[in-house]
Structure 1
C-alpha cells in the first residue's frame, strides 16, 4: 500500500518502482472500478468517474469500493506529487490517457488532477473533453487532421500530424455527420462516432447552412462562460415544442459567410467569420477569450428555442481568409502553409483577424494565422488552430469548406 507512506518514503520507493508500472496499476484499478458503471459514461473515451457512484452490494462492487477507498486516503501532498509527475511525463496521446485515468480514480484524485492540468492556452495539451471548447495556445498551433468518409458522410477530427506519421497514436477528438435536408445541410458534431442524437450527452454542437451553401451558423450545446445570451425570433416560434423536448438547447456562437462570385472571376473562395462568443479585444494586448471549465446543464429558460451569443464588449471577433498571391510560374493561387498542405484545392484557406484601426491591434497580430485548413490526400485534410479559437470552433469552420458552393467558385 502506498497511502501510509510519507512523501520522502514514496520518493525512495519510486526509484525502485518505475513510474510506468505505477501508472499502469492506477489505470487497471480505475478500469476495474468503472467496469460495472459503463452506463454512467457520459463523455466518450475520456471518461471521468462521477462524484457519487451508486455501487451495488455485489462482491465485485465491494472489492472496487475497497480499492477506491484505499487510493482515496492518500495524503494530499503525496497525491499532488504523484499526479504532477504523471502529468509532466505524458506530453501527448495516448500517454495523456494516464492523466485521465488519475482523474477517474475518485473525487480527491479528480479534484487535484483538475488543479494540476492546465488549459490548452496555458500548456498546449488537450486532455479532458472540455479542452475541445477551450481556446488553443497563443504561440504554437495545435496540429490536427480530418479524415473524410464519403460513403457515410462522416468527418473525423484527430489530433496529430497525419495518419502516415501518427500511425496508431492518433487521438479521436470529434466526429461530424453530414445530413442533407430539403432547404439546408447540417453537420452534427459529437464526441463519438456512433451517437449523433441531440438528446445525447455526446452531442456538442452542429453547423447549419442555408440553401445555397453560402452562409453557415455554428451552434453550441452550451453558452461559453460570461457570454450574454440574446433571444432570436425563432425562439418564440418554437417555445411550446422546446418546453416538452428532451433535446439540448442550441446557441449560435458564430456565423460564416462566403462571398458570391457573381462575375465568375478567377480566384479562391472568400470567407468571413463573425465569432459572436469571442470579443474582438481577445487578440489585443492582455485580451482574454471565454474559457469554459466544465460541461454545464442549461436552465429551463435557456431551453426555449435558439439563442444567439454576444461578446462581452458587443464587438465580436471577425476572421477573414488571408489573401493568396498569384504564382506566375505555377499559374495558381498560393499561400504559405509551411509544409502542412501538399495538394492544391479550392477548399484550402487560412484565417486571420480582421481588426479595425480603433481596436489597437498590432500588425503582427493581424498577420498571424489563427486557423489553416488544407488538403494532403484524397480524403485527408490538415487543420491547425490557435488562440482564441477552440477545437470545436475550428472544426466547425473547416466543415463549412466541405459543402458545395457553385456560386462562390
Structure 2
C-alpha cells in the first residue's frame, strides 16, 4: 500500500523539484488543469510590465526594431521547434490553433489537388477537440460540395487507420493526445500508414507540446499545429504555433495572405508575393504583448530536460491511477486513460455519473482539475509544478467527497459559462 509519507520522499528526491519555484501557485491550491491553462510563470508579470512600460511606453513604434518585436514570431517558433523535434526554420508562433489549422488544411488540400487530383475526403477523429472538426467542416463547405469530412473512432486510429484510408482521402488531421481521455497515438507509425496511402497528415500537438517528447521531423510528419497556453504556460489566449516540413514550406499556399507573410511587407505593393520559408505562414500584425509573455514559459523549458519531464509525467500518472484503484474501489469510477505508458499523454481522466458535481466539490477545496462531457473528470499532470504529494492529496480528497457524498449539494450543480 502506498502512503503519503512515500509520496513526500519521492518529492524530496525529484530532480525537477526546483522548477516549482518558477511558477505562481496560490497557497492551498493543487493545480491539475495545466492541460487546459498552464500556471503563471513567476517572471511573467515582470515581463509584461517591461513590455508595457518600457518597450511600448517609452520605445513606442521604434520597438518593432529596437525591442525585436518584428522577429518575435520566428524566434519563438525556433524555441518551440526544439521541443517538438521540428528542426530549424520550420515553426512560427502566430494566431490561434483554429486559424493555423485552417491555414494548414487549406494549403495541404491545395498540394493534394496538384499531386493527386480527385481526392476529396478529409479524415479526422470523432473524439478530436471540437474546434478542429468545426474548422474542417467550414473549410469543406467553402471549397464546395466535392469535399467531405469523415470521422473515425480512436480505435481505428490506434490500429493505423486500416479501413478508413481509402483512395479518396486527401488529408488526415489527428490530435496526438486525445483531449478527453489522454490517449497518446503513435506519430511515426500512423504517419507512415497515411503516407503509404497517398494522403497528407496534420498533427494537433495542443496536449503534447511541453508534456512529452515529440519528433515531428523524425516521424516524417507533414504539418503540425498547437497552442502555447496549456503545458507551455503562455497565458490565457496566448498565440499558437504552426510547423511545416521543409519539403512543403515553399509549396504552402497561404489562404490568409496578409502582409506579414509577404516577401517584402514594407514595399506596400498591390500584389501578394509569399515570403520564402517560415515567414509565409504569418498573416497580420502580431499580438506582441501576449507573445512576449508566452516567451517566459518557453524559456523555462530551455532549462528543462524533456526526457526527465516525460519520465516524471508517467510516474505521476502511474501513481494517480494506482491510488484511485487503491482508495476508491467501491465507487462507480472508471479510469479511461490508457494504463500502457506508450499510449498515455500527461493527464489522468476518470468517469463518474456525477462527474461535474464531484469536480465542483474538489475545486471548492482548492484542488483544480476540470470536467468534460460526458462524465469525465480530467487531471492534468504538469511535471514542472505538480508533485507526488499533490497526487496523494487529490485522491484522498476525492475519496472523502465520494464516501460522504459531499458533491450532493445544490451549489455543486450550478454551471458557469465555462466548465
Task: Specify the TM-score bucket, using the shorter chain as the normaliser.
Answer: under 0.3
In proportion to residue count, which structure has more helix?
2
Q: Which has the higher contact order (CA 8 A, sep 6+)?
A: 2
* TM-score, L = length of structure 2: 0.22
In proportion to residue count, which structure has more strand?
1
Which is higher, the Rg of structure 1 or of structure 2? 1
* TM-score, L = length of structure 1: 0.22
